Amino acid sequence: MNGKSARTDQRIDELMGLLLRSGVLLAACIVLVGGVIYLARHPRPSDYRVFQGEPENLRTISGIFSEATARHGRGLIQLGLLVLIGTPISRVTFSVLAFLYRRDRKYVVFTLIVLGLLLYSLLGRR
């Protein structure tokens, strides 16, 4: 590996690190704001001893967005968690671009497969 591509690699690694940390920080801030609103409006905690599952508007992306834009605490927390789940997904997207830039075809295919599986998990109908 020559010096120039080593420097490119380092630059790509640094950007990837920055992406990961800012994603986590942003998610934590949104969750915290949502948490404060939630605690102010819900004096009684839910019962977690028996599993009931979340309502539709807290487990679909469109539902979470409408709850969050209405500034509901629980919706904002879920939005923060969506940002958190999105952080590794954006890291993989970034890797696809990085491997494209290096013309590393095999790894473009590998990272695209991973990205496809992640998007299926988040968006797949079930």
Binding site for another protein (CB under 8 A): 13-14, 16-18, 20-21, 23-24, 27-28, 31-32, 34-35, 38-39, 42-46, 48-51, 53-55, 58-60, 73-75, 77-78, 81-82, 84-89, 91-92, 95, 104, 106-107, 110-111, 113-114, 117-118, 120-124, 126
**CA-CA distances (angstroms) from residue 58 to 27, 51, 52, 125?**
16, 15, 13, 15
Q: Least CB distance from residue 45 to another protein, whole Å?
A: 4
Tally: H helices and E strands in the chain: 4, 0
Residues 6+ apart with CB under 8 A from 83: 23, 26, 27, 30
Tell me the closest approach of the beta carbon of residue 23 to another protein, in angstroms: 7
- Beta carbon of residue 73, minimum distance to another protein (angstroms, whole number): 7
